[in-house]
Amino acid sequence: MRRSLVCLLLALLPSVSFAAEPLTLLLMHILREQIASAIQEAIENAEREKERQKYVIPPPVYDLDDHKLKTLIDEGFVHLTSAQREEVFASVKRILSDPQNAAIKPMLVQELAFKASAVRQAHEQLARLSEAEKRAVVAQAREEYQKLPPEERQQMLQVLRSGVVPLPRDLSEMILAEFSTVPAAGDARRPE
């Protein structure tokens, strides 16, 4: 009896596998349809998101709030007094808020950032000069100063005294002291 039961099961096994095969095919077809539907939905969502992004205006890259703008000026123009930095801040705010400058506002902020960085770097490089290097710079500045006509000398002195040149205080004072030793234009002949 056992043998006949095992034989019967073995005889039915191929027919069970054939019966399972249509079921497997049906499941495969359903899965394939679900995957195709999911892919189609993902493509449609991506296209909708792409369309939506076309109309979203990103914030300007160089749009700075007052705090960031003030920090940029304070960190870039370290050679200026706090009152001078306040004047620069007020001037920059006035320029940036002018409706005529709206189209070039990012370019203006970018230019300010570049200049602040360049001024800061120049100031730091001059501050790192040795005492001998500073004296050489002062001597060279004196030579150029002597070549200037009186009105330009006066302007140069005013600019140096105002502190708007990105020079460390000690170097600025050395140059001013050296310029004071130069005879007035009427006292010495100017080289031609």
Please say whether the beta carbons of 62 and 145 come within 8 A.
no
Q: Does the structure show a pLDDT above 60 at 174?
A: yes
Q: Enter the pTM of the model.
A: 0.56
Please say whether the beta carbons of 96 and 109 come within 8 A.
yes
Q: What is the pLDDT of residues 150-166, one digit of tens each?
A: 888 888 888 888 887 88
In this predicted structure, what is the pLDDT of residue 177?
Answer: 92
pLDDT band of residue 60 (cuts 50, 70, 90) is low
Please say whether the beta carbons of 183 and 189 come within 8 A.
no
Helices H / strands E in the chain, number of each: 7, 0
pLDDT band of residue 62 (cuts 50, 70, 90) is low
Q: Does the structure show a pLDDT above 80 at 63?
A: no
Q: Does the structure show a pLDDT above 60 at 43?
A: yes
In this predicted structure, what is the pLDDT of residue 186?
Answer: 53
Q: Does the structure show a pLDDT above 70 at 131?
A: yes
How far from 47 is each of 42, 53, 56, 64, 118, CA to CA, in Å?
Answer: 9, 10, 15, 33, 45
Please say whether the beta carbons of 134 and 89 come within 8 A.
no
In this predicted structure, what is the pLDDT of residue 17?
Answer: 44
Quote the strand ranges of the chain, DSSP E.
none
How far from 39 is each of 26, 122, 124, 181, CA to CA, in Å?
Answer: 20, 58, 58, 84
Q: What is the pLDDT of residues 85-102, one digit of tens each?
A: 999 999 999 998 888 988
Give the separation between CA 107 and CA 113, rounded to whole angstroms: 10
pLDDT band of residue 192 (cuts 50, 70, 90) is very low
In the predicted model, what is the mean pLDDT of residues 7-15?
49
